[in-house]
Amino acid sequence: MFIHKKAQIKLYIMTAIAVVFFTIGTGSSKSTPSSSDETYKGLKLFSDVIEIIEKNYVDPVDAKDLIQKAIQGMISTLDPHSQLLPPEAFEELQVDTKGEFGGIGIVITVEKGAITVVSPIEGTPAYKAGVLARDIIVKVNGESTKDMMLWEAVRKMRGPKGTKVVITVFREGAQEPIEFTLVRDIIPIESVRYVTLKPGYGYVWVTNFRDNTAQDLGKALSNLEGSKAGLKGLILDLRNNPGGLLNESVKVADIFLEKGIIVTIKGRHKKNTQEYTAHADGNRHNYPIVVLINGGSASAAEIVAGALQDNKRGLVIGTTSFGKGSVQTVEALRDGYGLKYTIALYYTPSGKSIQAQGIIPDIVIKPKMLEEDDSKLEDNYPKEKDLKNHLETNQKGELKKEPKKEVKEEPKKNDKKEEKKNLPFTEYRHGPLTAEILLSDNQVNRALEILISYDFLKGMQI
């Protein structure tokens, strides 16, 4: 999701990239008397319903809770990225763009309604205690996590350094739940990791786009370029990168580009329309780049991939990206609430909107687990187009005006092999990152082969 912070705009994707915000005005348009009358009538009807329910419903109800749910329901009909943020969620939303936080050091998600560990982060309390990927967290401090929102679970496990938290996990193969008493520590947020795969060939993984991501990438490139063999080629891994801060994604693309458009944002109001261009800084990185993407690459990650692809600066391989091309802002409301809503769409340098379409790789390379099935050209990730009430664009990149189609949920297969397909390489990505581990990844291997082939072929005499 894109978020404004005064002059800055930032990106955000569901699964947990936090933001900074400011209040957006209503623009220059004014309501006509007739539209104001209709709005007043609608609000009066809403007020009447709340009053009747509060007074006469069979069970006592909390009017404040009813109003919150009504607002949430109203906003959710707009698109899947607009929502009302309760104070706790609004506060958590701002944490992940910072450099660190107090916690236990695990990456979690919701899988089939259960709070599931994606991976423990190397060197953290959870990692040292033996929490493993695929552990299902069933309790936090004795409280059941059933029906618990992801942000609620995150909030309960985070806290000041030195304080304790008890998590109870269910682990496949274990006879009974396992309980861990963990002492919280400061968890650094690392968005750039890198390693040399072979002399002269570097690998950089950008996990998401937070404050200082571009700066950290610059340091990683300096280290790789400063090695004895130098840098003949680079793999830029954006797989499973859910997005983050727009300004950081623009800076990352700008590192590799000397000129050209990086991304264009077009909104209903002029203030929400802007074009970002690359600038030559004298620090050229003259080596070929292969960019890895998949269905988990979204938003800011798609901006970088699209910018390098359209400017002919990098070869994009993998599978089609998520397709989140909408821009959100977060507006502060009273009593600590926040309102996140869509204000614009973004476009790649060639003018393409990727909304609900995604970045299509130059070469489709499926994960090894799907290579045997030629009928599947995509990975198993849900895409923007699969989300209810997603925005759609026409061939000109303009929002379609016709009613949105309801997304039909496909029945889930109870097949362990299918489940494994949804387990990305992120399970080991927060542990030690080595060339040996990475070279067991067929997509990384193919990227390396492309770089080595390019270096070999350009030296041939014809």
Separation of alpha carbons 10 and 157, rounded Å: 26
Q: Taking residues 67-93, report their average pLDDT.
A: 87
pLDDT of the residue at 188:
78
pLDDT of the residue at 381:
67
- Torsion, Cα of 407, 413, 419, 422 (10° steps): -20
* C-alpha distance from residue 191 to each of 177, 207, 211, 297, 357 (Å): 32, 5, 9, 14, 26
182 has which bridge partners? 165
- Residue 55 token pair: 């007074």
| Mean predicted lDDT score pLDDT of the chain | 82
Cβ within 8 Å of residue 87, ≥6 positions away: 335, 336, 337
Of 79, 135, 254, 310, catalytic:
310
* C-alpha distance from residue 8 to each of 217, 241, 336, 366 (Å): 20, 21, 22, 36
DSSP string, 120-145: EPTTSHHHHHT--TT-EEEEETTEE-
pLDDT of the residue at 97:
56
pLDDT over 50 (residue 411)? no
pLDDT in tens, 164-217: 999 999 999 999 999 999 999 998 778 899 999 999 999 999 988 988 999 999
Which amino acid does the sequence have at 162? Answer: G
β-pairing, 289-293 vs 315-318, is parallel
Enumerate domains of the chain plus CATH numbers: 4-24+36-88 (no CATH), 100-188 (2.30.42.10), 192-332+344-399+416-458 (3.90.226.10)
Separation of alpha carbons 298 and 282, rounded Å: 30
Separation of alpha carbons 359 and 348, rounded Å: 9
Place of tokens 């994606």: 118
Residue of 77, 27, 19, 89 lying closest to 343 (CA atoms): 27
Instruction: Give the whole-number percent of the chain exceeding pLDDT 90.
Output: 53
Check residue 236 and report its DSSP letter. Answer: E
Neighbours of 386 (CB within 10 A): 17
- Residue 203 token pair: 């690998």
pLDDT of the residue at 174:
93
189 has which bridge partners? none
Place of tokens 């300096």: 222
Helix (H) or strand (E) holding 5: strand 4-5
Check residue 384 and report its DSSP letter. Answer: G
DSSP string, 44-76: HHHHHHHHHHHHHSSS---HHHHHHHHHHHHHH
pLDDT over 50 (residue 409)? no
Place of tokens 């009053």: 51
Which amino acid does the sequence have at 287? Answer: Y
Active site residue 299: yes
> For the whole model, what pTM was predicted?
0.76
Q: Taking residues 285-302, report their average pLDDT.
A: 93
Active site residue 310: yes
Of 82, 119, 299, 321, catalytic:
299
pLDDT over 50 (residue 417)? no
pLDDT of the residue at 23:
26
Q: What are phi and psi of 417, to 5 degrees?
A: -65, -40
Active site residue 324: yes
CB 46 within 8 A of CB 67: no
Of 324, 340, 366, 383, catalytic:
324
Residue of 185, 340, 194, 329 lying closest to 267 (CA atoms): 329
pLDDT bracket for residue 107 (50, 70, 90): confident
pLDDT of the residue at 311:
98
- Residue 35 token pair: 């539209």
CB 120 within 8 A of CB 430: yes
